[in-house]
Structure 1
């Protein structure tokens, strides 16, 4: 079985960036189909380049943050949930470990 880069939870965390990426893609297509300034192609090129660079930056940021999330999840081997301390775990005990 192949090891996937992103698991289901990581993809769910990163899915919030799908809507902004779709909006940016919509505007790139809209400006390509309906040119709002047909006389001045420089303005159109600047508009499309700003939107494209923003979309590319968001896509790269999403990818690298997903890699950071999955790497951080792989590095944690401790059974203590986030927000709890070592003393909380000692008081409550570990699941499956009975006091002897």
Structure 2
């Protein structure tokens, strides 16, 4: 049987992001079905982009955060968090030196 990526406790930790994701998804679908800004296609594109971009970013951040939480609960540390920190600070990781 395949191991689940996120256990019940990790999903509980991530529920704070599910409500904003649901709200963004609701407005994406609402504005996709209605005419926003009249017939101007640029206004429609901008209004959708202002919803879709944060939605995609929040999905990515939620997944990465869940992965870090799950790794930390299993092993006591997170390789994902270490790799992100090295990327942000510009430090070379141990893997790059060898």
Q: Shorter chain as normaliser: what TM range?
A: 0.7 to 0.9
Q: Rate the CA distance shift 1:43–1:2 in 2: closer, same or farther, 3 A.
A: same
Residue of structure 1 in register with 2:2 after alignment = 2
TM-score (norm: length of structure 2): 0.72
Residue of structure 1 in register with 2:18 after alignment = 18
User: 1:50, 1:37 → 2: CA distance?
Assistant: 13
- Deviations along 1:35-93, one digit per CA (max 9) or x if unpaired, are 122221101101101210100000000000000000011113xxxxxxxxxxxxxxxxx
Pick the structure with more helix per residue.
2
TM-score (norm: length of structure 1): 0.71
User: 2:36, 2:50 → 1: CA distance?
Assistant: 15
Q: Which stretches in structure 1 are left out of the alignment for 5+ residues?
A: 77-100
Residue of structure 2 in register with 1:47 after alignment = 47
**Runs of 4+ that moved beyond 2 A:** none
Q: Which stretches in structure 2 are left out of the alignment for 5+ residues?
A: 77-98
Higher relative contact order (CA closer than 8 Å, sequence separation 6+): 1
Aligned length: 76
